[in-house]
Structure 1
Amino acid sequence: MTDLRGRSARHDDEPAAPTPDQDTCRALAADLRAAGFGADNLRATWGVPADEAVGRGLREPALRALGERTDPLATLGRLLVLGRTQPAVAVAAALPQAGIAGLERLGLASTEDGYVVPRAVIRPQAFVDRDGEGEWWLASDLDEVALGSTLPVGHVLGAGGASLFLAGLHIDSPTGRVLDLGTGCGVQAIRARRYASEVVATDISPRARQFAEINMVLNDVRSVSTREGNLFDPVRGERFDRIVSNPPFVITPRIDGVPAYEYRDAGLVGDALVESVVTGAGEHLEPGGVAVLLGNWETRGGQEGLERVRTWVDSSPVALDAWVVERDTLDPVQYAEFWIRDGGTLPGTPEYAEMVENWLEDFTRRAVTAVGLGFILLRRPADGAHPTLARYERLPQPLTREGTLGTHLTEALSAHDRLTGMDDDALAAAVLAVAPDVTEARHHMPGSPDPQVIELRQGSGFARTVTADTGLAALVGACDGELPVGPLIAAIAGLLEVDADELRAELLPRVRELLVDGFLTLRETDLP
């Protein structure tokens, strides 16, 4: 028999499919709410160090902190967050409306010898968007720590770091229809309904679609339809105002002995899956529609990864604006080890070493020397318009508030569009102000009165740092929302004793960059 801290759930090669019974889901949601089943309450229950350990896949500190507690929050924390078997009497007390039978009906647990055995997890997930803070409950399959073994290939992932990053990237101004391509547990669809009137969520995995439907009801999210199928097949001929996708982009060798996990691997060679999404997205966007997706891309045969993505965008049958950001780059060994560990295979085992060999052989065969990780923003220009945005950049710096990057992207696109309609004379006549999160740093050599380096630093958005010369720093410092840019540049030219026209030609392109990146803002009366 087990004690109150419970034992790990068992591994089933083919775990039972979840069943999204709506009435039972609503009863379960009522029980979770009554128990105070939330991220803050759980963190307070087992403490911040244990909570951080749970995020790293370590359950023991939280179990120790719970000790012998049998209240509903402790019981549900063990069962649904930590994936530990619990006494049936305690679970029944914690779920007065759904009951143990409700968990079984949903396919989330089973009973055995007076104990409830978890078959899935439900974890509270906090989020931040332009409307403030909130929280979701997200059901998904047991992870490798709860199972005590590697993952089954049909595993449905919960809200991992990548999916939460994408949730923060949504272009979240109010819109009509959104497509969530490869919905998984449904987190992107749930996020999209906060700003969209309708969402279509697709996935090739029936199991993922069922988890997504459970999560819609648990979170009282409506007007989301789920469809089963590969890539754009379920929405052939349809268009959307937005597309979001965390596709199965992981580059996996097509070799026996290397698991092809459905949640991360589409069964294609190399980065072909991301290429397919990029080249196919335009036909499914309404004019002015935007797609945002995560992806990996290879540096192959001497061609940089970002340049490969550029060729995909250029080969789209629909001309597209593109903004591609590479957040990190891994060499083949780093990439292989990262994803092998992600599947639950541990370093030091023969299986681990063999899989590393397989990955490296696959990369060598295709002359891959690095893999980029990042996101891609695509936009179908308005009817009759031509693409005006082609931005491919590396931004490896840590971000300050990832949950609000979508708002930053929305504002950046808006600034880009405004500036596209402004010539240099119009920009020189505009009145600008410095964004409130921008600071300046000056670096001096000891004893020198003049700075050797001047940096403008952004506290939000992409947390960029821009090196400025004396003229640009002076202009930014003078942008207080009172005087137009042109007279400011003329005054600075006089102080620096340089030609005003030459200084204007030098500074205006930099001003355009700072406006798009959010260092500067345009006065509303100056907007075209």
Structure 2
Amino acid sequence: MSTFAVPGAPDLSDDVCARLREAFQRTGYDADGVVAVLGGAAHAALGRGEPELAHRASLDAGELGTLIRLFLLGSAEPAAEVKAAFAPLSTEDAVAAGVLRGGDSSGDSFRAALDIRPHGDDDGSWWVVADLDSDALGHAVPEDHVLGVGHASLSLIRATSRRPVGSLLDLGTGNGVQALHATRHAQRVTATDLSGRALALASATFRLNELDVELAHGEWFAPVARRRFDQIVCNPPFVVGPARVDYTYRDSGLAGDDASALVVRQLPGFLTEGGVGQLLASWLHVGGEDWGDRVARWLPAETDAWFVQRDVADPGLYVGTWLRDAGIDPRSPEGRAKSAAWLDWFAANDVRGIGFGFVTLRRASGVTPTVVCEDLRQAYDDPLGAEAGRWLDRVDWLRHNGDSLPDVRFRVPPTVLLESVDEPGEEGWRTTIRRLHRTDGPGWQHEVDDLAARLLAGCQGALPLEDLIELLAAAQGLDADELTATALPVVRELVRHGMLVPVAE
């Protein structure tokens, strides 16, 4: 297994990891064990930053309760109870490895010195090693802070395709959580980071879970120069603003959205033919410029791209959010000074908002690439990763069949509904809006007119599109060629969104 040691970083040797893993397994300190002890309500409250219910639930859970209070609640626990929970790893060795620290001046208690917590998926559970957050530290985090599993990490996990691949690169691995999930579907996983401390903790994460992940140290793609991968995932330091590095986990040292632009420009060059890259990204909304045009300019040639905008933040809210994320009170002198510099930069660059979302890229040599930028701000439950894979499949299908759409028999999936909005009029209710709504995946919605609704009603897999258009044109007294020219762009969009499905011959 790969190891990575950095002076000053916690040193979790193979032996320490083995004994710590044995303690966790013995006590049931895993994702299912924690939920079983806390129960749904207390576990949800803990996720909201409300620890009291979890504390009460843990009191009758023995050694597992000790570990929950120690690592998940940040409590100081009696030395005797910590010693029992950590066996066969001694508390002396745990302190020496940087896992524990003294809880008070008496020396009769311990606190966690690292954030080590269970993280699971449908197939099992891991442990993720990261630094303590600002609440546990009692002050702002240091520059080389290694973030735990936050909302951004979880959203990228859900947005990543899990189709089997031979090789996968986790660019900017941080605590290693993306690479953990990658080991489920990739034969070989490589993890890189500019931060030596991040690689040291990621190494501990992988060894604690007995996973063989290649580690490489360096900036951006430099550690993997001249290599190519079947899949690349990246949660880059995407915070936008002045060119500075306050915290390596979020700041790139590049101004504005240049970090996201750099990854989008360079990533396709490290993919195998047909390889897929998926990342989180931020982009500026600048006065007089469409955000889609901005991000499309980042793309290299021969790259399919799907930019999905999940949110647009107001600059003022954005600054306050990231100050609090680092444990800085926006009302403090430090917070006021940082806010002023940040907002001045936004104003000087005419920044009206900050977009955030997911990017899916595919190396597509020798063909005309498909580039789509769209808003997806509605709530949805299904993971976007599976949809991203199917989106690429549908792009391929349209690429090979786009000129013969009239000959194809289509059907509307049962998960697609036609909704209408009616308003009262002089002669009763009058339909003002007709909307197609796909109830699975990301919940796509498309407004359609009466003609489109009638055409789609006939898409039951029996007749080719050309025949349906001719029948509709005859019934409505319209020219079939003109109706075809109007219908085909709508059909292409609905196929791309999985709202019309071709029927196999």
1:104-123 to 2 correspondence within 5 Å? 104=95, 106-111=97-102, 113-123=107-117
Query: Residue 121 of structure 1 contacts residue 140 of structure 1 at CA under 8 Å; is this kept in 2?
Result: yes
Matched, 1:195 2:173: no
Query: Residue 295 of structure 1 contacts residue 375 of structure 1 at CA under 8 Å; is this kept in 2?
Result: yes
Matched, 1:51 2:39: no
Matched, 1:36 2:36: no
Output the CA distance in 2 between the equivalents of 1:407 and 1:70. 38
1:117-136 to 2 correspondence within 5 Å? 117-127=111-121, 132=122, 134-136=124-126
SS at match of 1:387: coil
Q: CA-to-partner distance for each residue in 1:387-430, whole Å, 9 max, x for gaps?
A: 321112222212222xx211111111111111111144x32222
Q: 1:244 deviation in Å?
A: 0.9
Query: Residue 122 of structure 1 contacts residue 137 of structure 1 at CA under 8 Å; is this kept in 2?
Result: yes
- C-alpha change, 1:70 and 1:133, in structure 2 (3 Å) is closer
Of residues 368, 392, 403 in structure 1, which corresponds to 2:373?
A: 392
Q: 1:107 deviation in Å?
A: 2.3
Structure 2 residue aligned with 1:145: 135
Structure 1 residue aligned with 2:3: none
Q: CA-to-partner distance for each residue in 1:80-108, whole Å, 9 max, x for gaps?
A: 11222212221222233334355335422
Structure 2 residue aligned with 1:287: 273
Matched, 1:509 2:489: yes
Query: Residue 330 of structure 2 contacts residue 339 of structure 2 at CA under 8 Å; is this kept in 1?
Result: no
Matched, 1:60 2:40: no
Matched, 1:299 2:285: yes
- C-alpha change, 1:100 and 1:478, in structure 2 (3 Å) is farther
Output the CA distance in 1 between the equivalents of 2:334 and 2:178. 34
- Work out the number of aligned pairs and report it: 495
Of residues 242, 248, 255 in structure 2, which corresponds to 1:262?
A: 248
- C-alpha change, 1:491 and 1:52, in structure 2 (3 Å) is same
Matched, 1:93 2:84: yes
Query: Residue 241 of structure 2 contacts residue 346 of structure 2 at CA under 8 Å; is this kept in 1?
Result: no
Larger CA deviation: 92-101 vs 262-271? 92-101
Query: Residue 340 of structure 1 contacts residue 352 of structure 1 at CA under 8 Å; is this kept in 2?
Result: yes
Q: 1:205 deviation in Å?
A: 0.8
Structure 2 residue aligned with 1:435: 413
Structure 2 residue aligned with 1:157: 147
Q: 1:118 deviation in Å?
A: 0.7
Q: CA-to-partner distance for each residue in 1:341-393, whole Å, 9 max, x for gaps?
A: 111112433332222112111222333232211122222213xx133211122
Q: 1:22 deviation in Å?
A: 2.7
Any stretches of 5+ residues in structure 1 without a counterpart?
1-13
Q: 1:471 deviation in Å?
A: 2.5
- C-alpha change, 1:490 and 1:220, in structure 2 (3 Å) is farther
Q: 1:279 deviation in Å?
A: 1.7
1:127-526 to 2 correspondence within 5 Å? 127=121, 132=122, 134-222=124-212, 224-254=213-243, 260-300=246-286, 302-313=288-299, 316=300, 318-382=301-365, 385-401=366-382, 404-424=383-403, 426-446=404-424, 448=428, 451-525=431-505
Output the CA distance in 2 between the equivalents of 1:35 and 1:495. 72
Identity %: 37
SS at match of 1:421: helix
Larger CA deviation: 268-277 vs 231-240? 268-277
Query: Residue 330 of structure 1 contacts residue 372 of structure 1 at CA under 8 Å; is this kept in 2?
Result: yes
Query: Residue 16 of structure 1 contacts residue 107 of structure 1 at CA under 8 Å; is this kept in 2?
Result: no
Query: Residue 175 of structure 1 contacts residue 241 of structure 1 at CA under 8 Å; is this kept in 2?
Result: yes
* Letter paired with 2:196: P
Query: Residue 243 of structure 2 contacts residue 256 of structure 2 at CA under 8 Å; is this kept in 1?
Result: no
Q: 1:478 deviation in Å?
A: 3.2
Q: 1:44 deviation in Å?
A: 4.2
Structure 1 residue ranges (4+ consecutive) displaced by more than 6 angstroms after TM superposition: none
Output the CA distance in 1 between the equivalents of 2:69 and 2:503. 54
Q: CA-to-partner distance for each residue in 1:303-323, whole Å, 9 max, x for gaps?
A: 34332222221xx3x542222
Larger CA deviation: 389-398 vs 197-206? 389-398
SS at match of 2:401: coil
Output the CA distance in 1 between the equivalents of 2:45 and 2:329. 18
- C-alpha change, 1:455 and 1:117, in structure 2 (3 Å) is same
Q: 1:143 deviation in Å?
A: 0.9
Output the CA distance in 1 between the equivalents of 2:388 and 2:99. 38
Output the CA distance in 1 between the equivalents of 2:90 and 2:502. 57
Output the CA distance in 2 between the equivalents of 1:249 and 1:293. 10
* Letter paired with 1:306: G
Q: 1:15 deviation in Å?
A: 11
Larger CA deviation: 265-274 vs 105-114? 105-114
Query: Residue 204 of structure 1 contacts residue 228 of structure 1 at CA under 8 Å; is this kept in 2?
Result: yes
Output the CA distance in 1 between the equivalents of 2:7 and 2:63. 26
SS at match of 2:298: helix
Output the CA distance in 1 between the equivalents of 2:337 and 2:279. 32
Any stretches of 5+ residues in structure 2 without a counterpart?
1-5
SS at match of 1:322: strand
* Letter paired with 1:210: A
* Letter paired with 1:155: H
* Letter paired with 1:493: A
- C-alpha change, 1:362 and 1:34, in structure 2 (3 Å) is same
Structure 1 residue aligned with 2:11: 19
Of residues 40, 53, 60 in structure 2, which corresponds to 1:69?
A: 60
